[in-house]
Structure 1
Amino acid sequence: MSTSARRSGRRRFTLIAQLVAVVLAVAAAVTVIAEGPGGHPAAERLAADEMDVPALSATPLPPSVVPAPSASAPVSSSPAQSPSPVLRMPGAVPSAGAGRFSYDDRGGPVLGRAGEVRRYRVAVEVGSGEDAAAFGEAVRVALAGPGSWVDSGRLRLQQVPAGASRDFTVYLATAGTARRMCADGGVDIRVGGRAYTSCRAPGQVIINLDRWRLSVPHFVRARVPLQTYRTYVVNHEVGHQLGHRHERCPGSGRPAPVMMQQTLFLNGCTPNPWPYVGGRRYAGPPL
């Protein structure tokens, strides 16, 4: 082979070698771009699994997977809490009033489904700071039930205006006036020398303003709502007007009969404002 032929062969070999080197370099660059910096897709997936990172998908997730926040649902920084029950009313309670009464002059619906209708008026002492219409509504709720005396099916009750014919009147009176009215009816409501309880005199259901506003200490300690005590005292004193006498606790842990003197004691029973429980007359042993 001539010298010129050998030189031409070496140039072709060098050119081919350079071309191969360029091809290998490009292939390596493509591999790095496709696999990422580590060059090991499987190793990267394993690391993601160990960190509990969800694998990405090329398919879009349906909109229901990530719910959008509702514009109608406000965001709260603290959980909702029920308001605490009112156990007693704040402020001083008048111990004496004018001795005169204002009346709730509205007529009311007949409460109960059957039986004799007994009609009553509602009155609040002037100077007591209480509203006759509000007291009348509270009395109506207590006597309507469910659980009140009308659940017997043999009695109905109805509020009437001041001048109408009636069977009895429900009075809300200051302690001083309640003491005089009860004493006139032969009942002493004093405890420890002061007018404390409510009473029934002939044709009169007399609710002591102190109890109406303050409940009683053992109810307050037990966090029994004032509304429960008010319902009890109305049904208790109206129960006397209807001819029912005092009863005793039927057993520790059981509901107190409404005719038990819950204003004074519970004797192991639990507070109960209703004469009917579960649709049946609930009573205790006679006192």
Structure 2
Amino acid sequence: MRASSRPRRSAVRSVPRRPGTSRRRSALVVLAFLAAAAVGVGVAVQRPSAGAEMLVGDGSVVQPPTPSDTPSPSASPSPTADPTPPPPLLTLPGPVPAHGSGSFAYDARPGPVLGRAGGLRRFRLAVENGSGEDVHAFGDAVQRALAGPGSWVDGGQVRLQRVVPGARYDFTIYLATRDTAGRLCRDGGIDIRKGGVPYTSCRVPGKVVINLDRWRTSVPHLVAAEMPLEEYRLYVINHEVGHQLGHHHEGCPAAGRPAPVMQQQTLFLDGCRPNPWPYLDGRRYAGPPVWKP
């Protein structure tokens, strides 16, 4: 039988492509790629959990820091209670010079007028050379004592003012070693010795003499009464300046009450409580008169 000369058709026929199919497939591929990239970015920005590895930009893998490696913010200090204030200073330790040079350094700073009314009394301030004390510190302490409140100027009968050397003055307040204080007081007719040693302070005409021993150490019964040294200094200034202003010694009015400033508190309290001021609550505070110089 003679073969047919008609060409044989293939068993598989090609399916004709619809218009736009190739473009839709390309778009789907692009979308799939973009979706995968977005997922990758989302994973990259998530904080890795402890122990998870991280993929860095160059494709290498690094281990994230463990919690112990991550610095933690320093804890704020817990509030602490205010420290307990130190107890008041009752006396100064260490030896006190028994004598100095006998010459004096003067406070060259003029002071304001203290008080609102009354006659004006001007005074100078002097510290013995060799005493180890600063004249300005002494001047400041005297100023606190005489300015008050509670000082002699509160009564409206006298005003006080510190003046410079060379200016006209009514009296001088000296801080002197015990030997010099003993001599200055003795020259004015006052014996300040106790047990043969110059012990108290004094006032003689035109001179208020503060004994350095008392200025630095107070006295045992006032230390036992817990009178601060600063208050003793207020007392001794107001007491001796009180003499200069014409006031005499006074006694304790009653046990348990404040001692009058003109009581000899350096020697005894007689049942009273220590007190450095001539005025209390705006009124002159006094005790029964004791007519001793």
Does TM, scored on the shorter chain, surpass 0.5?
yes
| 2:159 paired with 1:186 | no
**149, 158, 161: which one aligns with 1:158:** 161
Distance in 2, Cα, partners of 1:276 & 1:75:
43
1:133-148, aligned counterparts within 5 Å?
133-148=136-151
Map of 1:123 onto structure 2 = 126
Partner of 1:223: 226
Corresponding residue for residue 149 of structure 1: 152
Deviation at 1:162, TM superposition (A): 1.4
Instruction: Measure, in 2, the Cα distance between the counterparts of 1:223 and 1:150.
Output: 27
SS of equivalent to 1:127: coil
Name the CA distance, whole Å, in 1 between partners of 2:82 and 2:129: 44
- Structure 2: 5+ residue runs without aligned partners? 1-74
Give 1:75 shift: 2.0
Selected match of 1:198 from 197, 201, 214 = 201
Q: Which residues of 2 match residues 240-279 of structure 1 at below 5 A?
A: 240-279=243-282
Question: What is the Cα-based RMSD across aligned positions, in Å?
Answer: 1.3
Amino acid in the other structure paired with 2:269: L
Where 1:269 maps in the other structure, the secondary structure is coil
Aligned-pair distance for 1:81?
0.5
Query: CA–CA distance in 2 between the matches of 1:84 and 1:252?
Result: 26
The C-alpha deviation readout for 1:143-165, integer Å capped at 9, x for no partner, is 00000000011111000011110
Q: Deviations over 1:179-237 (max 9, x none)?
A: 00000000000011110000001000000000000001011112210000000000000
The residue matched to 1:206 in structure 2 has which SS? strand
Q: 2:63 aligns to what?
A: none
CA deviations 1:7-32 (Å, max 9, x no partner) are: xxxxxxxxxxxxxxxxxxxxxxxxxx
Q: Which amino acid aligns with 1:189?
A: I
Secondary structure of residue in 2 paired with 1:210: helix
Residue 256 of structure 1 aligns with an amino acid whose one-letter code is A
Task: Check if 1:106 corresponds to 2:109.
Answer: yes
Q: Paired residue for 2:213?
A: 210
Deviation at 1:84, TM superposition (A): 1.1
Pairwise CA distance, 1:79: 5.5
Residue type at the aligned position of 1:111: L
SS in 2 for 1:285: coil
Match of 2:240, SS state, is: helix
Q: Distance in 2 between matches of 1:286 and 1:115?
A: 24
> 2:192 corresponds to which letter in structure 1?
I
The aligned counterpart of 1:83 is: 86
Q: How many percent identity over aligned positions?
A: 66
Q: Partner residue of 1:10?
A: none
The DSSP-based 3-state class of the residue aligned with 1:256 is coil
Higher percent of residues as helix: 1
Measured after TM superposition, the shift of residue 74 of structure 1 is 5.2
Return 5+ residue gaps in structure 1 as ranges. 1-69
Cα displacement string for residues 4-57 of structure 1 (whole angstroms, at most 9, x for unaligned residues): xxxxxxxxxxxxxxxxxxxxxxxxxxxxxxxxxxxxxxxxxxxxxxxxxxxxxx
TM-score (norm 2): 0.72
Q: TM-score, normalised by structure 1?
A: 0.74
Computing the radius of gyration from Cα coordinates, the structure with the larger value is 2
- The 3-state SS of whatever aligns with 2:238 is helix
